[in-house]
């Protein structure tokens, strides 16, 4: 994707996000839960509002003006997404409710028909449950197994171990592009090259990557790339799966219903060509209109500026947190996005999060849908501060002040 060079003015950007100006418990909101869901700029909110006010109709079902306008807006989102990730064709992009649906689609439509007893699916210890549980479900149906490649204490994937596990019985390899807990950026291109050498398709969970960095699926060399809209300024219930055309043409539909067919007879049904054969039922039309506006917003800022600012935030937050006695950062990979998980000696993560909320600071506590990763580090939960380009240095300092205040209460 090509960035639009701009001067990065964080205060101007913050003015585009209505929710950032609110107070919580009488204090200005500091929103550091962006890996959970991002806030939405006014452009996204207004685009959805305009859809319902001006062209609310179902897509691909009517020849009247409203229907044509709604269809154009919805399919326009597909075009923009394809360009955003440099997909070879818009027809390789299936619009879904998010990464979870996208991965399940691959699990049931692509992987399950290929599995037999003794086969395996390879993933990693750092994965979100959405990139573990679907594989376990299809493995249980087929007699296959799920293998997990290890990581080191820094939170980096041990690539040599991953490659060593790419044995002939592996029918699919899966890896997160960016860890939702650690912020670790995995070497997807290198992994994809090793998978290709062995004829093993690779699925990448891009949920935590697309909000922070340009993604080029052709350059990455993967077979499937799944992502979620609500983490990248867009409404909930939006996302997509990119897959190579040859896979989509060979895959049977996962869902059945309207709009994914050419003809239905009781003697048999013929299905539409990809991507529509995987998009049964009425989609989240207004949501994808909002996602389209979000992509425009990203382009108006440019990822070069976004990445530079977020890395500055990450460096500042890491330095301030390291200075707090008894604080342990979980995962310090050499290449990270702006996500920091940590523990404070003598305090439960949930208690910390609750007390920070009373100070106006929103962070995430818990296992972050990553039980195996928590087990690796020997902890039940962590506190996670996840930053976005609309956050500020001053907010980090306010967060540290609040954390020190809470620490004093709990010690």
With a CB cutoff of 8 Å and minimum separation 6, the contacts of 329 are: 318, 321, 322, 340, 341, 342
Strand pairing of 382-386 and 364-366?
antiparallel
Retrieve residue 93's tokens: 């992009």
Instruction: Print burial letters for 306-320: b (CB count within 10 Å at least 16), e (below 16).
Output: bbebbeebbebbbeb
Torsion of CA 347, 349, 351, 357, to 10 degrees: 130
Nearest to 83 by CA among 242, 267, 221: 242
Q: Which residues pair with 261 in a beta bridge?
A: 271
| Residues carrying an active site annotation | 369
Residue recorded with tokens 């409404």: 235
Backbone CA torsion sign across 154, 157, 160, 165 = positive
CA–CA separation, 89 and 232 (whole Å): 22
């Amino acid at each position: 994707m090509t960035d639009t060079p701009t001067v990065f003015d964080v205060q101007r950007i913050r003015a585009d996000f209505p929710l950032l100006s609110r107070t919580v418990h009488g204090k200005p909101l500091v929103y550091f839960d962006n890996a959970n869901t991002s806030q939405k700029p006014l452009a996204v909110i207004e685009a959805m509002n305009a859809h319902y006010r001006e062209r609310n109709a179902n897509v691909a079902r009517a020849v009247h003006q409203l229907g044509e306008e709604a269809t154009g807006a919805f399919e326009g989102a597909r075009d923009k997404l394809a360009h955003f990730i440099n997909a070879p064709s818009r027809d390789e992009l299936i619009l879904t409710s998010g990464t979870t649906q996208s991965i399940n689609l691959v699990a049931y439509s692509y992987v399950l028909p290929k599995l037999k007893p003794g086969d395996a699916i390879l993933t990693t210890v750092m994965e979100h449950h959405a990139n573990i549980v679907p594989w376990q479900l299809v493995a249980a149906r087929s007699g296959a197994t799920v293998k997990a490649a290890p990581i080191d204490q820094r939170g980096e994937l041990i690539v040599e171990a991953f490659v060593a596990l790419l044995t002939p019985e592996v029918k699919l390899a899966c890896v997160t592009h960016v860890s939702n807990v650690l912020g670790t950026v995995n070497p997807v291109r290198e992994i994809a090259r090793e998978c290709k050498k062995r004829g093993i398709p690779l699925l990448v969970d891009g949920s935590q990557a697309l909000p922070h960095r340009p993604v080029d699926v052709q350059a990455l060399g993967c077979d499937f790339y799944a992502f979620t809209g609500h983490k990248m300024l867009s409404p909930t219930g939006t996302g997509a799966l990119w897959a190579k055309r040859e896979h989509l043409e060979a895959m049977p539909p996962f869902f059945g219903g309207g709009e994914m067919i050419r003809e239905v007879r009781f003697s048999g049904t013929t299905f539409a060509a990809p991507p529509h054969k995987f998009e049964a039922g009425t989609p989240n039309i207004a949501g994808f209109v909002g996602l389209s506006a979000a992509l425009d917003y990203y382009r108006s800022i440019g990822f070069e500026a976004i990445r530079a600012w977020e890395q500055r935030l990450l460096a500042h937050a890491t330095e301030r947190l390291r200075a707090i006695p008894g604080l342990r950062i979980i995962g310090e990979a050499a290449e990270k996005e702006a996500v920091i998980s940590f523990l404070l000696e003598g305090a439960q993560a949930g208690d910390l999060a609750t007390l920070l909320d009373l100070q106006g600071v929103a962070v995430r506590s818990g296992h972050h849908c990553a039980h195996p990763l928590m087990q690796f580090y020997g902890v039940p939960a962590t506190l996670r501060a996840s930053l976005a380009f609309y956050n500020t240095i001053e907010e980090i300092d306010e967060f540290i002040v609040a954390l020190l205040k809470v620490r004093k209460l709990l010690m």
